[in-house]
Amino acid sequence: MGIFDFLSGQFIDVIHWTDDTRDTMVWRFQREGHEIKYGAKLTVREGQAAVFVHEGQLADVFTPGLYMLETNNMPIMTSLQHWDHGFQSPFKAEIYFVSTNRFTDLKWGTKNPIMVRDPEFGPTRLRSYGTYTVKVSDPALFLREIVGTDGEFTMDEISYQLRNIIVQEFSRTIASSGIPVLDMAANTADLGKLVSKAISSVIAEYGVTLPELYIENISLPPAVEKALDNRTSRGLAGDLDEHMRWSAAEAVREGGSAGDAMGMGLGAGLGMQMGNMRMGAGGTQASGPWGQAPADPPPPPPVEHVWHIAENGATSGPFSKARLGRMVTEGGLTRDTMVWTQGQDGWMKAGDVNELAQLFTVMPPPPPPAPPAG
């Protein structure tokens, strides 16, 4: 090998990065002390950016494309190297390739419960988790604020800090949203956008952005979930006869025989019948082995519904029917106001709900026009 062949081998004339990983955000070109040849070819692929660093100072940033490294396309390097009057010798510079692709399916979750004040349950605790995506929006700023001189920077090195920011902004947003706990599942998309917008303004100082954030689940404490299940069960058991039939069917479904189911239903019905026969109409025990059959017990009082109101994309409530009546009088509730209560299939106009329609008949209609003057 001749001396000129040896010297030419010391100079790098092709610069590129082929990423074979899924989590590398920044990779430093392995120069190994070699100088870069003036006029060398730089290849920046789609989803990449190349940042030149000269003696510790950020210089030129190259977006996807093929470049000849000359003075006309390296203005900052030209100024730092004093190439203003032309220079064609090899030069030294550190080159960092930055991935500008989206890093997807990243996990986040609340480490501790979030305290919120719910209009129906009062103070309660929530937990949540989901996924998010990250993208480098400013390669130079990201290199200066986060990476530093790290030769290979991966997503794991920043994900912990991002998760802390997400949880902080999620907690603040969820606590100030005013959305009832039972309505949060229907508003996770809007909550995700609010949290993502709040986080983007914070992490923009790092040169990264959060294109997407998904809330996969919002859960209540086990005690509250159990109370909700009990409330639902009580609602289903409003009709005792229907409840007995349902209990018998559940016994068969869970592995019992038809005889067991019939015995369960017969035993429950017979127990209630004997209890009623032992008590007379005045609360005294009836005479005879079975006694005189007392009058049927009064039906249970009807369950009073509470109502939620939706206006301008926000919900409020719950309100009692009496409170809604006052709102009609005050003009805060009209026939076109959207309302919802438990057991109702979706939101409906107040005037279309039989239970509320009578509220609008209390107000008299507009007076007839005055007769013309004679």
Distance CA 281, CA 64 (A): 91
pLDDT of 135 reads 93
- How far lies 204's CA from each of 139, 171, 197, 210, in Å? 12, 20, 11, 9
pLDDT of 97 reads 93
Distance CA 282, CA 63 (A): 92
- How far lies 170's CA from each of 188, 250, 282, 330, 332, in Å? 11, 41, 60, 37, 32
Per residue in 262-287, pLDDT (tens digit) is: 444 444 444 454 445 444 444 444 44
Q: Which CATH class is domain 102-223?
A: alpha beta
**Domain range annotation of the chain:** 3-99, 102-223, 307-361
Question: In degrees rounded to 5, what are phi and psi of residue 203?
Answer: -80, -5
Is the peptide bond prior to 318 cis by the omega test (within 30 degrees of 0)? yes
Per residue in 67-86, pLDDT (tens digit) is: 888 766 676 776 766 665 55
Q: Where are the alpha helices (DSSP H) in 84-221?
A: 139-142, 156-176, 188-203
Domains 102-223 and 307-361 share a fold: no
Distance CA 147, CA 149 (A): 6
Q: Which CATH class is domain 307-361?
A: alpha beta
pLDDT of 208 reads 92
Tokens of 246: 């349902």
pLDDT of 9 reads 47
Higher-confidence position of 101 and 182: 101
Would the pLDDT of 136 be above 90? Answer: yes
Residue 235 confidence class, pLDDT cut points 50, 70, 90: low
Work out the angle at residue 58's Cα, subtended by the Cα atoms of residues 54 and 62, and round it to the nearest 5 degrees: 100
What is the torsional sign of CA 112, 115, 119, 122? positive
pTM of the model: 0.54
Helix (H, G, I), strand (E, B) or coil at 182: helix
- Helices then strands, counting H and E runs in the chain, come out as 10, 16
Residue found under tokens 């062949």:
5
pLDDT of 102 reads 92
- How far lies 363's CA from each of 131, 169, 235, 326, in Å? 52, 47, 34, 11
pLDDT of 316 reads 83
Residue 4 confidence class, pLDDT cut points 50, 70, 90: very low
Cβ count near 178 (within 10 Å): 13
Distance CA 284, CA 19 (A): 88
Per residue in 28-54, pLDDT (tens digit) is: 887 666 578 878 888 999 999 999 888
